[in-house]
Structure 1
Amino acid sequence: MGFVQVIEYETSHAPEVESLLDEWCARTAGERTATHTVLARDHQRPEHYVSIVEFPSYEEAMRNNTLPATSEFAHRMEELCDSPPRFVDLDVVRDVEL
């Protein structure tokens, strides 16, 4: 049914993170397996962010993680975070448009 990866992180470098995301999207065009992403900022804690990334399957997410641009992105992302990012891997069990 699908797979979602949730990445929570704290950063005081939000513009640099967004630029890094744009760069990753450009570099992985035509080869990435991620199909949709949402980036959200905590209303109460403005330096806390949550990124939700959708994939067709767990296997496709793991394939996406092996792309050289993804590895470089992850390394550079860690440098921009104020603490280590937290990753949560989720199998989609229900998907309903509201």
Structure 2
Amino acid sequence: MTFVQLIEYETTHDKEMMDLWEQWMRMTEGKRTLSREMHGQDRENSTHYVDIVEFPSYEEAMRNSELPETQRISEQIRGLCSKEPRFVNLEVVEEVS
């Protein structure tokens, strides 16, 4: 069953955040388990972002989170946020195309 994680955060360092994301993508090539990712910026609050990350399952998401590269980059990302990111973990119960 598909698993989706929403990551909500605020930052004034969008360029640095995107650079870290690209670094993580290079470092985890062939190891990461995410299926797809969407990066959204709030139209009414330019420092508010939501990332939507899809995984094949909860177990695969947890395996991805445990990668040393994920741990290292996530600490750097937290340092660029104005407050602690909020994570919402969702089991997809229905999907309509």
TM-score (norm 1): 0.97
Question: Post-superposition shift, 1:9?
Answer: 0.2
| Shift >6 Å, 4+ stretches | none
Q: Percent sequence identity over matched residues?
A: 48
Question: CA separation in 2, counterparts of 1:86 and 1:16?
Answer: 19
Q: Summarize the alignment of residues 77-88 of structure 1 with structure 2, pairs less than 5 Å apart.
A: 77-88=77-88
How many residue pairs align between the two structures? 97
Question: CA separation in 2, counterparts of 1:96 and 1:31?
Answer: 29
SS in 1 for 2:96: coil
Show the counterpart of 2:57: 57
Give me the CA root mean square deviation.
0.6
SS in 2 for 1:49: strand
TM-score (norm 2): 0.98
- Is there any run of 5+ residues in structure 1 with no aligned partner, and where? none
Question: CA separation in 1, counterparts of 2:4 and 2:27?
Answer: 21
Show the counterpart of 2:25: 25
Question: CA separation in 2, counterparts of 1:52 and 1:72?
Answer: 20
Question: Post-superposition shift, 1:73?
Answer: 1.2
Please give the per-residue CA displacement for 1:14-54, whole angstroms capped at 9, x wherever unaligned. Answer: 00000000000111010000110000000000000000000
- Is there any run of 5+ residues in structure 2 with no aligned partner, and where? none
